[in-house]
Structure 1
Amino acid sequence: MSTVGLVVEYNPLHNGHLYHIQQSRKITDAESVIAVMSGHFLQRGEPAIADKWSRAEMALRAGCDLVLELPVAYSGQPAQWFAYGAVAALAATGVCDALCFGSESGNADALSRIADRLAAEPESMRLRLGALLKEGLPYPSAYAAAARQLLEASGEADAAFGLAQPNHTLGLHYMLALRKLGSPMRALSIRREKSDYNQSSITDTAIASATALRKLVVESGGALDGLAPYVPGSTLAVLRREAAAGKAPVTWDAFARPLFHLLSSLPASELGTYAEVTEGLEHRIKGALRELRSWRVDELLDLLKTKRYTRTKLQRTLARILLGHRKEDLDAERLAAGVQYVRVLGFTARGQALLKRMKKTAAVPVVHTAADGDWPYLAMDARATAVYAAALPASRPADAWRDYTVPPVRA
């Protein structure tokens, strides 16, 4: 049984994602699809529009067979560690033959050649990257510039390739992760159609980015009807159900009070111990709090944003503080060790067959709830669920413990 792996967030799952699932199965001739999905807090630092079990259900109803959770230790990271954690999870299953990701060009061969050149992490590139970061460039821009300079110095034609584009950056890091992990998985790419990764406007009648769709929901006061042309019917049904239960759509505003309590009550010296709080950002946060006119996270982000501190960087920082993640919890040595388990969020009948195979092939334990082990990253995911649940007005105290009590979704 051949299997293709996808790295996803589905925030929410839309028609472009459905196309990606279908085309990934087609171009790899795969019988099964495994999705590694971010949980309650995502790669850009945002809370998910709906909880992870609901989004896993969206994935299963759209054609995925098995949904695994990317630990929050990795899901809230820049491209390097986000990609590494996701690829490590797919590789650890022992059943994944290929990885298929979306990109601006769909040109996996060019990214693969660049990955071959950069896999050894040349000293000249590391020095250039460090210098650019000190100059204030955000990590993605600095990495792309350092890589381009190295390639140009080598006289390689691929130097002109669009590494600064977000999905090219992720794709490159997927390929670098495959090499670091020694994984035999093939890497393929599908060209994004009709909408860019973070495009906030809608320019097509059926395809729109998740960013644009979330904006549409916010601007409509939480109404979901406007999503109908852009998402599968199954996605809309799940979102409507969760909205009726008072558990969606979720935005940063749901977390404003607990977040501002922490930011206001903790001294700057303690804020500085949290992951992503770098270069004196704790003092900038304290200063911005005195300028606030409302208890809104968006206003705080606007006050904090600079050339060095992008919105994405700041959202990741606020998420780490909210979730209680310290620098030592997420140091490079721990992250480089890879996943210690794979967590199942949902499966179909075909996914159940994959799970049976994984009992023999998986390099790490396969768990269904947080009660199945005591790994630090699994405990972090359970705490993230508690924080997420407590912020929802319609949630019950029992919802904070769902990681221990709720079995995987079956579809």
Structure 2
Amino acid sequence: MKAVGLIVEYNPFHNGHLWHLNEAKRISGAPFAIGVMSGNFTQRGEPAMTDKWSRAAMAVKAGVDLIVELPVVFSVRSAQYFATGGIRLLNHLGVVSHVCFGAEMPDMAKLLAAANALNQPAVITAMREQMKTGQTYAASLAAAVSARASVDAGLFQSPNNLLAIEYVRAINTYAPQLVPLPLKRLAADYHDSLITSPIASATAIRAAILQKGALSPGSTAWQALPPSCARQINELINAGKAPVTLADFSNIILAKIRAMRLDALAGLPDITEGLHNKINQAAFKATTVQELLAHSKSKRYTITRLQRIIIHALLETTKDQLAQFDQSGPLYARILAFNNNGRRLLKEISQHATIPLITKTAHYLTSKQQQPGSLSPLQAMLACDISATDIYALGFPNPVWRAGNQDYQTSPLYIAD
């Protein structure tokens, strides 16, 4: 029993994801598909528009057989750590043979050359020197790799290519038996903000939902989604469980940052060279999270990086914590949703997995154990996920859904075929 692995966010699941799923099964020849999906907070440093169980259910209804949560300590990270967390988790399951991912330039030879270049000390040194001139990480990386390793700098100009390179790099390091399958991104670009065809970017679909609210059948946004996903999004909107946005956490984020000591702010992931002072000052000028980002942004520090930093402040994750988790990698596989094939996969995974499968949170960490005390590394990682869900719930439009402890009360969703 072999499966193709997909590292995803599905925010929300759209027709491009459906095409990717079907192509992944076709080119891999694997009869099953497993998605490792960000939970309630995403790689760009934003809350997902809908909660993790709803997004997992949409994906399974569309044909993914099993959705496993990527722990938040890997999901709200730069491309290297996001990709590495996803690859290591898929590898731990023991049933994945291929990993399929999108890229603007799906040339395996070029992706491999770039991945190998990133492991060269001379390239890393050159990149750091470039960053001292005020260049962003991506721009510095492109310049260093193209100069030192004769790799096309254009490879580094899109988020999907960066992720693809990091997937290949992580596979080489942690799971060389997995077969990487780069797939050319279809139609819409990652950053496209308009819907011009049935294949649209998640960015454009989210923008349409925020602008218009519930989706009208036949609208361009509706047509960009599988019908079951469009209907479920409307149900969530009508129930006041969506959309959840970064702006919904403005007061909480500003309160957290204003109350943080400078040394604690300096200990947040991605903070370097005095950025904590700038964010501290910005927090006292800003009245919204968007103003906080605007006051903190510079040529060197992109909005995405700043968003990740403020989510780390919100969740109280630190550099030291993440360094430990990066050493261990994912310590469990948290099941969010599955279908009949997924049930078969779970039986097989239970015999081959090298980490525990979590279907009931309290079996590994109780609410009482979450209080200050001695937690195992697995419990500490799981506590971050539970806390992230407790905080995320405060962003639901309808207050009736904002109670905590939802990770203890929600079981994996079984979606009958």
TM range (shorter): over 0.9
CA–CA distance in 2 between the matches of 1:198 and 1:248?
22
1:205-354 aligned at under 5 Å gives the runs: 205-220=197-212, 222-225=213-216, 226=219, 227-292=221-286, 295-331=287-323, 333-354=324-345
Question: In 2 relative to 1, CA 266–160 (structure 1 residues): closer, same or farther, beyond 3 Å?
Answer: closer
How far 1:400 sits from its partner (Å)?
1.8
1:72-83 aligned at under 5 Å gives the runs: 72-83=72-83
Structure 1: gaps spanning 5 or more residues: 153-157
Q: Which residue in the other structure is 2:409 paired with?
A: 405
The question of whether the paired residues in 1 share the 8 Å contact of 2:279 and 2:296 is answered with yes
How far 1:27 sits from its partner (Å)?
1.0
Q: Which residue in the other structure is 1:367 paired with?
A: 358
How far 1:113 sits from its partner (Å)?
3.8
* Alignment partner of 1:392 is 2:392: no
Q: Which residue in the other structure is 1:138 paired with?
A: 136
Deviations 1:128-148 (A, max 9, x none): 122122222222222232222
Task: Give the secondary-structure state (helix, strand or coil) at the position aligned to 2:398.
Answer: coil
The question of whether the paired residues in 2 share the 8 Å contact of 1:60 and 1:348 is answered with yes
Deviations 1:248-305 (A, max 9, x none): 011111111211111222333332222233322222123223433xx32222212221
CA–CA distance in 2 between the matches of 1:143 and 1:339?
27
Name the stretch that deviates more: 135-144 or 308-317: 135-144
Structure 2: gaps spanning 5 or more residues: 366-377
The question of whether the paired residues in 2 share the 8 Å contact of 1:151 and 1:159 is answered with no
Name the stretch that deviates more: 101-110 or 63-72: 101-110
* Alignment partner of 1:176 is 2:169: yes
How far 1:205 sits from its partner (Å)?
2.3
Deviations 1:2-26 (A, max 9, x none): 3100010011111111110111111
The question of whether the paired residues in 2 share the 8 Å contact of 1:2 and 1:29 is answered with no
CA–CA distance in 2 between the matches of 1:303 and 1:40?
26
- The residue type equivalent to 2:148 in the other structure is L
Deviations 1:226-262 (A, max 9, x none): 5201111111122112112211011111111211111
The question of whether the paired residues in 1 share the 8 Å contact of 2:244 and 2:395 is answered with no
- The residue type equivalent to 1:353 in the other structure is R
The question of whether the paired residues in 1 share the 8 Å contact of 2:43 and 2:76 is answered with yes
Task: Give the secondary-structure state (helix, strand or coil) at the position aligned to 2:152.
Answer: helix
CA–CA distance in 2 between the matches of 1:330 and 1:290?
27
CA–CA distance in 1 between the matches of 2:294 and 2:211?
18
1:150 to 148, 151, 157: 148
Task: Give the secondary-structure state (helix, strand or coil) at the position aligned to 1:162.
Answer: helix
CA–CA distance in 2 between the matches of 1:136 and 1:336?
29
CA–CA distance in 2 between the matches of 1:83 and 1:268?
30
Deviations 1:180-225 (A, max 9, x none): 11430100111111111122233x22121111111222233x3333
Deviations 1:54-84 (A, max 9, x none): 0000110111000000010000110110000
CA–CA distance in 1 between the matches of 2:133 and 2:297?
16
How far 1:112 sits from its partner (Å)?
2.5
The question of whether the paired residues in 2 share the 8 Å contact of 1:370 and 1:379 is answered with no
CA–CA distance in 2 between the matches of 1:114 and 1:269?
36
Q: Which residue in the other structure is 2:27 paired with?
A: 27
How far 1:36 sits from its partner (Å)?
0.4
CA–CA distance in 1 between the matches of 2:294 and 2:398?
29
Q: Percent identity?
A: 36
The question of whether the paired residues in 2 share the 8 Å contact of 1:91 and 1:183 is answered with no
How far 1:399 sits from its partner (Å)?
4.1
Question: In 2 relative to 1, CA 399–5 (structure 1 residues): closer, same or farther, beyond 3 Å?
Answer: farther
Q: Which residue in the other structure is 2:369 paired with?
A: none
CA–CA distance in 1 between the matches of 2:259 and 2:122?
43
TM-score by length of 2: 0.91
Question: In 2 relative to 1, CA 349–240 (structure 1 residues): closer, same or farther, beyond 3 Å?
Answer: same
Question: In 2 relative to 1, CA 150–372 (structure 1 residues): closer, same or farther, beyond 3 Å?
Answer: farther
Q: Which residue in the other structure is 2:370 paired with?
A: none
Q: Which residue in the other structure is 1:56 paired with?
A: 56
The question of whether the paired residues in 1 share the 8 Å contact of 2:143 and 2:153 is answered with no
- The residue type equivalent to 2:222 in the other structure is A
RMSD of aligned alpha carbons: 1.8
Q: Which residue in the other structure is 1:155 paired with?
A: none
CA–CA distance in 1 between the matches of 2:97 and 2:24?
12
Name the stretch that deviates more: 53-62 or 236-245: 236-245
Deviations 1:295-326 (A, max 9, x none): 32222212221111100001001100001112
